Amino acid sequence: GAVVSQHPSRVICKSGTSVKIECRSLDFQATTMFWYRQFPKQSLMLMATSNEGSKATYEQGVEKDKFLINHASLTLSTLTVTSAHPEDSSFYICSAKDGLQNQPQHFGDGTRLSIL
Amino acid sequence: ILNVEQSPQSLHVQEGDSTNFTCSFPSSNFYALHWYRWETAKSPEALFVMTLNGDEKKKGRISATLNTKEGYSYLYIKGSQPEDSATYLCAFMTGAQKLVFGQGTRLTINP
């Protein structure tokens, strides 16, 4: 099956640090990648959608200057949390899909981000 | 605001028993409904993508039904096994190809 690799799986860093999370599709071309965030006991919330070679589309309430998304190739998207603060501590997970209709999204393992 | 509700939030089932749980979603502007299984420390795994009212899909001991007119889908597990322990997520696909997830049903199979 389709494999998506996400790393790092866990990050602990000081407030003010910028953190980059990578999401790679290993065996298919991901025309679209999605970034989600999950707070404790809540559902996965879509942060942004990125299509290869174009700017990401952010959901309402998500700061695009805080969460920089790059999707430079059909196999790689990155999320950079800039100048992270404790309130950015959360679980971040990416998914990817090809261009076909009615296909599922393929998820990475997620990244647990803790800002001290 | 789109609302996707799953019930129950958690469920304990004896090994060998069958079980089912529900996903409720908006009945208008339906495009697709996704089901995923999410085991601890792993990535969510796609189970089904359902698109047509009345759809029934099956994968081994797991099956799902879809009623788009009333806005619900059921997931059934027959003869539960310990490896079925996971959180089961449903997600409603919007016209913009985005998924809106429910909170999940956490299933624990007791040996």
Contacts for A73 with CB less than 8 Å, ≥ 6 apart: A52
- pLDDT higher than threshold 80 for residue B1: no
Name chain A contacts of B34, Cβ cutoff 8 Å.
Answer: 104-105
According to DSSP, the β-strands at B105-110 and B10-14 are: parallel
Question: Which pLDDT score, from 0 to 100, does residue A102 have?
Answer: 86
Main-chain phi, psi angles of B22, to 5 degrees: -120, 145
CA distance B45 to B100: 16
Bridge partner residues of A18 (DSSP): none
Tell me what pLDDT residue B26 has: 94
Mean pLDDT of B80-93: 97
For residue A93, what are its two tokens?
A: 């997970």
Residue B97 pLDDT class (50, 70, 90 cuts) = confident
Percent of chain B with pLDDT over 90: 91
Residue B2, pLDDT score: 82
With an 8 Å Cβ cutoff, are A104 and B41 in contact?
no
What are the residues facing B105 on neighbouring strands? B88
Please list every residue in chain A whose beta carbon sits closer than 8 Å to the beta carbon of residue B43: 4, 6, 93, 106-110
Kindly state the helix (H) or strand (E) to which residue A31 belongs, with its residue range: none
More confident residue, B39 or A102: B39
Q: Does residue A1 carry a pLDDT above 80? A: no
CA distance B42 to chain A (A): 6
Retrieve residue B68's tokens. 């788009």
Q: Three-class SS of residue B95?
A: coil
Residues of A in contact with B51 (CB under 8 A): 102
- Which residues are paired to A6 by β-bridges? A23
Residue % of chain A over a pLDDT of 90: 80
pLDDT tens digit sequence for A48-75: 999 888 889 999 999 999 999 998 888 9
Write the pLDDT tens digit of every residue in A24-52.
Answer: 999 888 889 999 999 998 999 999 999 88
